[in-house]
Amino acid sequence: MNVLILGVNGFLGRAIARSAANKGNEVFGLSRSQDPSPDSGITYVEGNRGDLEYVLEIIRNHKIDVLVDVIAMTLQDSRALINAVDGQIGQYILISSSDVYRNYELFQKKSLGIPNQEAVQEDSELRQTRYPYRDIAARAIDSPDSYLDHYDKIPIENAAMEMSSQWTILRLPMVYGAGDKQRRFRWAIKPMIDGNKNLVIPTRWANWYSTYGYIDNVADGISLAIGNANAENRVFNIGENQSISQFEWAKRIAEVIGWRGDLVLTDESDDPFAQRVAHLDLSVPFRISSSRIREELGYKEAVRQVDALARTVTSEGMS
């Protein structure tokens, strides 16, 4: 398969490109910046996803079969792209997010309701509200985060489902690993690396359950869908098979690091960590079921969790 990846130089894009190339695909990557370091089997093309004529030229010149859209963030930009490539490719793969689910807006305190206590399935209820990261005050136009005022994966998914080309939607969990700009586990890793004797954790956070995914495993799940007839016009969740509490994550990270301090729970509202998560409803779990992609596409993690954490810890310690 000839595959074009939009947003190839990001945390996720490069991992997808490597995985797709390792599976024997001819991979082309489009990015606004030049390739920082070459990867075997990947051809990098400098350009803008919004330049639709250029994207179509790449599709024609390289006979692209599958387009993987890593950076579909707003409906305005994405609808134009989807309309342009529809019928010009065999398959459009939309990298979506588990933030489309109803539990996410409850977790973010965007609305009221009864959360799903079980792992959400692909047909579970979606958010009733839109623009999950929009604040009361609009972000400055020149802010690098200004797109978040218009970010929403739900309408982009709906646009993809209207395509005449085959489509696949992949909803991702919180992704961790080397290069993760959000540093999902820094709250535990840094104090342990620094040699703190205690790690004070708000009780509400310690008891919160959520699904994560290691970057290379998530990328492998995405590349499984490339040119796969079983993925045509289907939606899949990707994530680790077991959701564990943040307290359990801290214990596993401590074991990887070899940290022998104490995990101390606190209910103090003025604790700095507690204040950082005060805006979240941590009574709402964020468990995600990945049974469909495991059963229908044969997904399984190539990198064990203990090794994934070890690599994450190493990268965190070097930053």
pLDDT for the residue 183:
94
pLDDT for the residue 69:
98
pLDDT for the residue 41:
79
Single-letter amino acid, residue 66: V
Predicted TM-score of the model (pTM): 0.95
Rounded Cα gap, residues 119 and 291, in angstroms = 10
**Is residue 3 a contact partner of residue 16, using CB atoms and an 8 Å limit?**
no
Half-sphere CA count of 311, side-chain side, radius 13 A: 15
Rounded Cα gap, residues 174 and 244, in angstroms = 13
pLDDT in tens, 45-80: 989 999 999 999 999 999 999 999 999 999 999 999
Phi (first) and psi of residue 137, to 5 degrees:
-95, 135
pLDDT for the residue 319:
60
Residues in CB range of 129: below 8 A, 6 or more apart: 105, 110, 111
Collect the ranges in the chain with pLDDT lower than 50: none
pLDDT for the residue 139:
85
pLDDT for the residue 122:
98
DSSP-derived secondary structure for 40-70: TTEEEEE--TT-HHHHHHHHHHTT--EEEES
Report the share of the chain in percent with pLDDT over 90. 88
pLDDT in tens, 6-41: 999 889 999 999 999 999 999 999 988 766 556 667
Rounded Cα gap, residues 172 and 219, in angstroms = 10
pLDDT for the residue 249:
98
Secondary-structure class of domain 2-318 per CATH: alpha beta
pLDDT for the residue 137:
76
pLDDT for the residue 32:
82
Rounded Cα gap, residues 215 and 257, in angstroms = 20
Q: Strand, coil or helix: what is 111?
A: coil
